[in-house]
Structure 1
């Protein structure tokens, strides 16, 4: 009896230990790693913190803001579970990923032209003026073309310092795409790209959107392009730009939403809006994408990624406006939800 009792105790202990091991394995949080665009980094940070709370810590997302070029590079190199880019991916890059790629636009934003002119708010820049500033053809703030668009505003005789990105950037891709669409001179001299050869002379470079924003803030007479949320965070004044309809529209949620309103997503989920139609449209708006493997390392990871996407499309869109981003139109949300099923 004594031997039998000892055996029963040993067996019970083994079963209990087995249960504890299994229980701890299932309770261990799933860690998702991502990297890429700095443009959406502020809202991604908010989303992922709240998502971890909503899942009681069962799914944690670690996102590194390294720029769109770095995000694509890391995604192709399989050092992350997902990448992020404002420039989407080229087909040649997609072809380098044997697991297949699913691109999903997750949020959208406005690219703004911010400047450092103390005491001057609501500066108006016509569409034949701001491309010339970034081409280096307009070099003083009291240039006749800027003065004509801003009657009653005392513009200083200050040299313009142009601030651009030093790294491969989806924000640069969107900005140069717009300038190329409205200026044939810009298109031929500079063109569109994630990194371009700027022709302006008096220039400062900054890394990522926060680097550009900081450089503008620290440089009297500076002008540069950055994401709307970064300009808000740094309390930088932003220019009201003349749109395709000839109306001056200041950056903000209404103008941004109007700029996205007519966007139609094709099957590959990639669409660029270089010069939107509409009287109320802000002229420089862009989607920003997350990049996923269609075939992932495990079914558990794939499910966690789909849950993350669902959160971003539902709860996440509710804070987009407050964070300085443009909530996705409902028609876009539905298409993205359907496409997310390809993450397996």
Structure 2
């Protein structure tokens, strides 16, 4: 995707509290599918939903990028056909939904520590340093602890401005999950969640809001999806992973983080895994749907179309879209498990569109993550 396109999407988000696909149109008697939630995968969803509509001219897919917390609430209220979240539902949240919910992973991505610091194009950070910055215990860029791991970088005597999310956010959940794993102090003081009580910094709404604020503020740093920082030309720090290596975000390093045993329900995090090649702030992002799709308002045709949309997203065509705009496609194991999850969706108790056993076990090898040209940070 061209930079100008995503910049337009970011500006659109900043001036709208209810983002929708840029191809939103009247249904004209067709089927409308509505969703809301995470801003992290919005650039991907904007394109993959548009592509699906081009292939299915009688279908409209609307998506409001309101944050993971808002997406979960919207699904609970049954005001949308699907919610979108970068954080899987906890057991307590699942119980609050009043009916079984299925998690459909759509792609993977990386959260970067993007910053604006004149003359500094390369930076290394560790989890404990990031924790100390957001706890207000490291306040200047030339702090000796940052300098110690960046000996060849001229860091200014400038105040650090941490930027964080003001809304309920799956990005915040994964960011805080990572920090809990690497910093006992963070775990004790802040914990993890989609919304936190912050000790330092300034707030912004959504990934686009945080990215825009970082870009406008000299000395700012914040956690955002890599596609946003790449498009705005914001540099991103290399992060020290669990194996002790400083790693840049890339399709390869994100994919390496997912090379772990995956649960059948696909509710898992892939932050700070053991792999020496893994990027430590990697994540899955999901669409959330009720297992039983007859809610008294949705027709059988509408339910079938929702299932067809989910199948398209995890198809080779849908996953190629993710790879082209710097989200990592799902692994073969993830696709196999997701096909089984889609095969559980019912209408009046009847399976809607089951994959055959052969289809479930046979995953196309058309997508080779590591062969795709990697254009992410620090590899340009």
Task: Tell me the TM-score normalized by structure 1.
Answer: 0.88
Q: Residues 202-232 of structure 1, C-alpha deviation per residue, up to 9 Å, x if partnerless? A: x111000000000100010001101111111
Q: What 5-or-longer segments of structure 2 have no aligned partner?
A: 1-27, 347-380
> In 2 relative to 1, CA 96–148 (structure 1 residues): closer, same or farther, beyond 3 Å?
closer
Contact 1:76-1:93 at 8 Å conserved across structures: no
Q: Which residue of 1 aligns with 2:337?
A: 335
Q: Which residue of 2 aligns with 1:109?
A: 109
Pick one of 288, 291, 294 that aligns with 1:294.
Answer: 291
Moved more, 59-68 or 253-262: 253-262
Quote the offset at 1:99 in angstroms.
4.3
Question: How far apart, CA to CA, are the structure 1 residues paired with 2:72 and 2:164?
Answer: 21
Question: How far apart, CA to CA, are the structure 2 residues paired with 1:148 and 1:223?
Answer: 19
Pick one of 214, 221, 228 that aligns with 1:230.
Answer: 228
Q: What 5-or-longer segments of structure 1 have no aligned partner?
A: 1-26
Q: Which residue of 2 aligns with 1:323?
A: 325
Q: Which residue of 2 aligns with 1:53?
A: 54
Q: Which residue of 2 aligns with 1:16?
A: none
- The structure carrying a bigger helix percent of its residues is 1
Question: How far apart, CA to CA, are the structure 2 residues paired with 1:105 and 1:45?
Answer: 16
Question: How far apart, CA to CA, are the structure 2 residues paired with 1:149 and 1:312?
Answer: 41
Q: Which residue of 1 aligns with 2:354?
A: none
Quote the offset at 1:58 in angstroms.
2.1
Contact 2:110-2:282 at 8 Å conserved across structures: yes
Question: How far apart, CA to CA, are the structure 2 residues paired with 1:183 and 1:97?
Answer: 32
Q: Secondary structure at the match of 2:329?
A: coil
Contact 2:122-2:153 at 8 Å conserved across structures: no
Pick one of 229, 233, 241 that aligns with 1:243.
Answer: 241
Quote the offset at 1:178 in angstroms.
0.2
Q: Which runs of 4+ in 1 moved over 2 A?
A: 90-100
Moved more, 270-279 or 78-87: 270-279
Question: How far apart, CA to CA, are the structure 2 residues paired with 1:338 and 1:146?
Answer: 46
Question: How far apart, CA to CA, are the structure 1 residues paired with 2:145 and 2:92?
Answer: 42
Quote the offset at 1:311 in angstroms.
0.9
- Please show how residues 67-106 of structure 1 align to structure 2 within 5 Å: 67-106=67-106
Quote the offset at 1:98 in angstroms.
4.0
- In our comparison, the structure showing a higher alpha carbon Rg is 1
Q: Secondary structure at the match of 1:121?
A: coil
Contact 1:232-1:324 at 8 Å conserved across structures: no
Q: Residues 85-107 of structure 1, C-alpha deviation per residue, up to 9 Å, x if partnerless? A: 11121223322334431111111
Q: Secondary structure at the match of 1:337?
A: helix
Q: Secondary structure at the match of 2:128?
A: coil
Q: Does 1:30 align with 2:22?
A: no
Question: How far apart, CA to CA, are the structure 2 residues paired with 1:136 and 1:260?
Answer: 32
Q: Residues 160-215 of structure 1, C-alpha deviation per residue, up to 9 Å, x if partnerless? A: 00100001100000000000100000100111011111222xx1110000000001
Q: Which residue of 2 aligns with 1:265?
A: 262
Question: How far apart, CA to CA, are the structure 2 residues paired with 1:340 and 1:37?
Answer: 20
Question: How far apart, CA to CA, are the structure 2 residues paired with 1:338 and 1:328?
Answer: 14
Question: How far apart, CA to CA, are the structure 2 residues paired with 1:150 and 1:323?
Answer: 30
Q: Which residue of 2 aligns with 1:3?
A: none
Quote the offset at 1:267 in angstroms.
2.8
Contact 1:305-1:343 at 8 Å conserved across structures: no
Question: How far apart, CA to CA, are the structure 1 residues paired with 2:34 and 2:110?
Answer: 26
Q: Secondary structure at the match of 1:84?
A: strand
- Please show how residues 115-134 of structure 1 align to structure 2 within 5 Å: 115-134=115-134
